[in-house]
Amino acid sequence: MAEKPENLNVIEHPLIMRDVTIIRDKNSGHEQFRNAVNRIANVLASEIMKKAELEIISVETPLETTFGYGLKSQVILIPVLRAGLGMVSGFITVIPDAKVGHVGIQRNEETLEPLVYYSKVPVSIPDAMVIVLDPMLATGGSSASAINYLKTRGAKSISFACLVASPEGVRYLFEKHPDVEIYTAAFDRELNEKGYILPGLGDAGDRMFGTL
């Protein structure tokens, strides 16, 4: 395993380690794959939200008035299309009041640079806790472009969540956005010559949506 960069949080939870094994297995069907991704997303969401700020609120119990806590900032989930959509459900289970925006990234055929072809994000993004969802952090180009776009829309507090990350992708994202914390279920060995993560899990979108 590669040396762990300072902006990377690898969630080494026993349940995540079990579910990463399920999504790596080429014999796991799309339903089994999707269910495991949902469970991984639950744990990733809980880990990311440890840094959320709280505010004190009043609450009425059946017996008296007391105080409790609410989230100080709105949470906005930004799945990167299309594979990022598969992580939304797991995050919403843990953060049910989160808003959801969308960013689509594709590669310019002439320049080979990633570009935003679609976006729809809440107007409250400058004051929100933003979590970008993309199952695979491979080269890091698409992820960095999505985050760069969100910053142009005013996003200030951004975290990135993925299932599997490569050393190359983590380094690139840190180079472009050193203020963004990365949360992943697995930190893999390397990219192959085609840009696939090894040992990886194949194409997350195809396996999640059954489009193999």
Give 141's Cβ-side CA count (13 Å radius): 11
Does residue 188 have an active-site annotation?
A: no
Which residues make beta-bridge pairs with 137? 165
d(CA 137, CA 186): 10
CA 69 to the chain's CA centroid: 25
* Catalytically annotated residue among 107, 127, 139, 153: 107
* Two structure tokens written together for 208: 């999640």
* Catalytically annotated residue among 39, 153, 171, 203: 203
Does residue 203 have an active-site annotation?
A: yes
Does residue 25 have an active-site annotation?
A: no
* Catalytically annotated residue among 127, 153, 171, 206: 206
* Catalytically annotated residue among 65, 66, 111, 152: 111
Contact of 153 with 127, CB cutoff 8 Å: no
d(CA 38, CA 86): 8
Does residue 206 have an active-site annotation?
A: yes
What region, left, alpha or beta, does residue 202 occupy, with left being phi > 0 and alpha being psi -120 to 50 degrees? Answer: left
DSSP 127: G
Active-site positions read 107, 111, 203, 206
